[in-house]
């Protein structure tokens, strides 16, 4: 029962966020959306910078604009969904859960995020 309630809450939160990000454009109505603390403090982009604008573009079917704002989101969203499924099916699909949470997979993911973080600040991605 707890799992069903949690699933309903998460799905509802994603739907509400989806409606908000579809309706409002973070590039035009920036004061409605939280600004990245890292870029505010350092002037450098974090791995997630541009995600809100990218999600808005994706929800409008504009993949190129989404890639312009944050190309990693094009990989990150399906990956987050894959991890959500892994967590949701943790007890009934243990093999998938274990594969997704394998230490080498997680290490590769961490390295990819760190590389994205550095490269986007060097090349202005």
Minimum CB distance to Zn ion, residue 73 (Å): 12
Minimum CB distance to Zn ion, residue 45 (Å): 6
Minimum CB distance to Zn ion, residue 47 (Å): 7
SS3 for 64-125 is HHHHHHHCCHHHHHHHHHHHHHHHHCCCCCHHHHHHHCCHHHHHHHHHHHHHHHHHHHHHCC
Q: How far apart are CA 72 and CA 69, in angstroms?
A: 9
Interacting residues toward Zn ion by CB under 5 A: 36, 38-39, 46, 49
Minimum CB distance to Zn ion, residue 49 (Å): 3
Residue whose CB is less far from Zn ion, 42 or 94 = 42
Residue whose Cβ sits closest to Zn ion: 36
Q: How far apart are CA 5 and CA 119, in angstroms?
A: 40
């Amino acid at each position: 029962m707890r799992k069903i309630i949690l699933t309903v809450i998460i799905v509802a939160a994603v739907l509400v966020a989806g409606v908000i990000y579809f309706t409002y454009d973070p590039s035009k109505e920036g004061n409605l959306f939280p600004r990245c603390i890292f870029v505010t403090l350092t002037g450098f982009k974090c791995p997630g910078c541009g995600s809100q604008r990218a999600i808005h573009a994706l929800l409008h079917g504009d993949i190129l604009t989404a890639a312009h704002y944050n190309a990693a989101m094009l990989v990150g969203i399906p990956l987050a969904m894959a991890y959500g499924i892994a967590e949701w099916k943790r007890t009934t699909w243990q093999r998938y859960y274990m594969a997704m949470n394998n230490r080498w997979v997680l290490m590769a993911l961490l390295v990819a995020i760190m590389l994205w973080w550095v490269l986007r600040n060097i090349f202005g991605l």
